[in-house]
Structure 1
Amino acid sequence: MGSAGRFEGRTAIVTGAASGIGRATALRLASEGASVACFDLADAVHDTAAAITGGGGQALAMTLDVADESAVATAVADAASELGPATVLANVAGVLRFAITHEASMADFDLMMRVNVRGPFVMCRAAIPAMLEAGGGAIVNVASSAGMFGQAYNAGYGASKGGVAMMTRSIAWEYVKHNIRVNAISPGQVDTPMVSTIDFPEAMDWKLMRKAMGVNGKSLAPEEPAALIAFLASDEATAITGAVVPIDHGLTC
């Protein structure tokens, strides 16, 4: 890690960096030269930063709630002080809860909206001023195939990720003249701790889940969406903004 690459001399912030896609993204950006500020609510975020610094890269870890406006503002400022102002932001933090609608917990619904929608908005709001001052930057959000078409037992999560997709397009349009690109990836099923620990409804009808599993039922490794995030954040994607890019083995084609 720390070798010259597409992000040499740049600082990136990655949320959800303790595990899954977020950890893979932090490691990928660091491997291409970025100094990485790793944000997550889980203490394991320190392990991600340690993996980067242990490989010769630059990183710091901060435990925080990405939907907490005050905590985020402080963390972004602290990261800029230690690593330099961030011109790359990867909003990966997310939560998933399955439920049939009439039995769904409103606490779970509110949590998904807080982390999955408010979180990226708060992060963008805090990170964009430094990008404006730097003359540009790149933001990559994580939507989901669940936000692109209806999936059973997924009304709350799907609504939150559909919101991420529209937020991405709106913010991209606002800053297109300021050289700040804003895109999202839309993964299908990914082998992550978030997915492996899902508490499915007891009376779940698995036939209704076939649509979400796709034609071949393949899952993604976290490194696959991380690679797409890195591409969209890089100068190789300078003509791409406002895009929501599927990475789902053809699930949404």
Structure 2
Amino acid sequence: MADGTRFEGRTAIVTGAASGIGRATAQRLAADGALVGCLDQAAAVEETVALIREAGGTATAASVDVRDEGSVAAAVESVAGELGTPTILANVAGVLRFAHTHEMEVAEWDLLIDVNLKGPFLMARAVIPHMLDSGGGVITNVASSAGMFGQAFMAHYCASKGGVVLMTKSLAWEYLKRNIRVNAISPSGVSTPMTGHVDFPDGMDFSLIAKTMAVDNKMLAPQDPASLIAFLSSDEASGINGAVIPIDNAVTA
């Protein structure tokens, strides 16, 4: 249940806010009282801002390419200038692909590493100075169950999300004494526009990806990981740092 005072007066930045988990996270943080900077390349990020404002929240949009240092810096400064110093960061932006590794284009490998791993690094790099200036903050990265174990036809995706897991732990240690908490969530399949438009390579053996699905094949709703991100961003989770929390309907149990 949303709490309109949970993040009262605090500024949050959410990447990938145009749809899916990112949009749900931006909406949830705003419903909990945060001033939300909604970042995405897609024009639909303006729809997210409109939905938040219609619900009585405060939000602004900024276009960003999370792969590009200059774009990230400009977007963060834009949000800080309009809404105030960001002390909450949710790195949600990501891309998903399946491929036979021996047929995988190098450009596709680079895309997933750049968006899924370099993106959270660049965002953290840009936001952490603001957090240090304000006395602390919270970063939540979206990893994946595919970053917790090997997954066929997803070498690039697993590598990127596995990197997010260890980057999260590294940052948690590095900023432990500077009042910045860094955690990750590890969702399994989530019903989003991205997962609804995934292409599978010819000849793919679907039995090899069976372990990524829960027994009842239940897909998470975007609001499920969004609620967990909101909790981890709150003072209620003040003792949780460096954690990678599964939200996967027992996939990794």
- The alignment's TM-score, normalised by the length of structure 2, stands at 0.97
Q: Residue in 2 aligned with 1:112?
A: 112
Q: Is the 8 A contact 2:92 2:141 kept in 1?
A: yes
Q: Tell whether 2:94 aligns with 1:88.
A: no
**Structure 1 residue 215: deviation in Å?**
2.3
Q: Residue in 1 aligned with 2:175?
A: 175
The 1-side partners of 2:209 and 2:167 are apart by 27
Structure 1: runs of 5 or more not aligned: none
Q: Residue in 1 aligned with 2:212?
A: 212
The 1-side partners of 2:36 and 2:108 are apart by 30
- In structure 1, give the amino acid aligned to 2:150: G
- In structure 1, give the amino acid aligned to 2:154: N
The 2-side partners of 1:239 and 1:146 are apart by 26
The 1-side partners of 2:20 and 2:108 are apart by 21
Q: Residue in 1 aligned with 2:162?
A: 162
The 1-side partners of 2:191 and 2:227 are apart by 15
The 2-side partners of 1:5 and 1:241 are apart by 23
**Structure 1 residue 204: deviation in Å?**
1.1
Q: Residue in 2 aligned with 1:58?
A: 58
The 1-side partners of 2:4 and 2:154 are apart by 42
Instruction: Give SS of 2:194's match.
Output: helix
**Structure 1 residue 140: deviation in Å?**
0.2
The 2-side partners of 1:145 and 1:231 are apart by 19
The 2-side partners of 1:214 and 1:239 are apart by 29
Q: Residue in 2 aligned with 1:248?
A: 248
**Structure 1 residue 214: deviation in Å?**
2.7
Structure 2: runs of 5 or more not aligned: none
Q: How many residues align?
A: 252
Q: Tell whether 2:14 aligns with 1:6.
A: no
**Structure 1 residue 166: deviation in Å?**
0.3
The 2-side partners of 1:3 and 1:195 are apart by 29
Residue by residue over 1:116-147, the C-alpha shift from the partner in whole angstroms, topping out at 9 and shown as x without a partner, is 00000000000001110111100000000001
RMSD: 1.1
Q: Tell whether 2:69 aligns with 1:69.
A: yes
- The alignment's TM-score, normalised by the length of structure 1, stands at 0.97
**Structure 1 residue 197: deviation in Å?**
0.6
Moved over 3 A (4+): none
The 2-side partners of 1:94 and 1:167 are apart by 16
The percentage of aligned residue pairs carrying the same residue is 63
**Structure 1 residue 208: deviation in Å?**
1.1
Instruction: Give SS of 2:33's match.
Output: coil
Instruction: Give SS of 1:215's match.
Output: coil
1:12-161 correspondence to structure 2 within 5 Å: 12-161=12-161
Instruction: Give SS of 1:9's match.
Output: coil
**Structure 1 residue 3: deviation in Å?**
7.0
Instruction: Give SS of 1:193's match.
Output: coil
- In structure 2, give the amino acid aligned to 1:24: A
Q: Is the 8 A contact 2:15 2:39 kept in 1?
A: yes
- In structure 2, give the amino acid aligned to 1:241: N
Moved more, 151-160 or 208-217: 208-217
Q: Residue in 2 aligned with 1:186?
A: 186
- In structure 2, give the amino acid aligned to 1:203: G
Q: Residue in 2 aligned with 1:201?
A: 201
- In structure 1, give the amino acid aligned to 2:126: A
